[in-house]
């Protein structure tokens, strides 16, 4: 598959998730208008729905960038360094996308980019370290043969909610 074709597929995927986020917001707006949900509660649910869609979109960007970068880097580097560079580069690109989506579409921030980007970076690094340490700690407590994914999923779900609160209160 050519680079142009992969880029087109990535664009289509991102557009799809942006459309899903817009549809989710429309559904919450409808519930609010029908008086099935208070406007304050609807706004909070709508913001969390947009945050979730933004995170999902950024995950797609991360996986797509990783998928595109690995074949490009493998002829230039050994396998392990190629994977490491692809992982870090993909995470940087997806984090930038996530920051911008959250800044403009989720939280409608007016905070200076220097301040919010710095805090976002600190929170992202701390979240990544917390995930690695908690998963490693929990994985040794699981029965032998249990995949580490059994520890990673609940840890990352919990960190997702903490991340939302930290970004809402501190970053934007």
pLDDT tens column, 18-27:
555 555 555 5
Alpha helices in the chain (DSSP H): 3-33, 39-73, 79-101, 113-139, 149-166
Take residue 106 and report the two structure tokens written for it.
């989720």
Closest CA to 99 of 130, 54, 56: 54
Decide: 50 and 106 in contact? Cβ < 8 Å: yes
Which residues, 6 or more positions from 45, have their beta carbon under 8 angstroms from its beta carbon?
28, 37
Decide: 37 and 31 in contact? Cβ < 8 Å: yes
pLDDT at 39: 73
Q: What is the rounded distance in angstroms from the CA atom of residue 66 to the CA atom of residue 25?
A: 30
Model confidence pTM above 0.75 = no
pLDDT tens column, 98-119:
999 999 999 999 999 999 999 9
pLDDT at 8: 59
pLDDT at 95: 96
């Amino acid at each position: 598959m050519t680079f142009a074709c992969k880029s087109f597929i990535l664009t289509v995927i991102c557009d799809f998730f942006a459309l899903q986020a817009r549809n989710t917001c429309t559904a919450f707006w409808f519930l609010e208008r029908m008086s099935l949900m208070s406007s304050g509660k609807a706004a909070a649910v709508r913001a969390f729905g947009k945050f979730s869609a933004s995170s999902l979109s950024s995950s797609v960007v991360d996986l797509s960038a990783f998928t595109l970068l690995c074949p490009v880097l493998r002829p230039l580097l050994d396998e392990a360094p190629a994977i490491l560079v692809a992982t870090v580069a993909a995470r940087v690109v997806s984090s930038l996308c996530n920051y911008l989506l959250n800044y403009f579409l989720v939280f409608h921030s007016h905070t200076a980019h220097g301040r919010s980007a710095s805090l976002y970076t600190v929170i992202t690094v701390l979240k990544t370290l917390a995930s690695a340490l908690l998963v490693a700690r929990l994985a040794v407590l699981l029965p032998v043969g249990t995949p580490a994914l059994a520890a990673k999923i609940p840890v990352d779900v919990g960190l997702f909610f903490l991340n939302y609160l930290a970004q809402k209160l501190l970053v934007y």
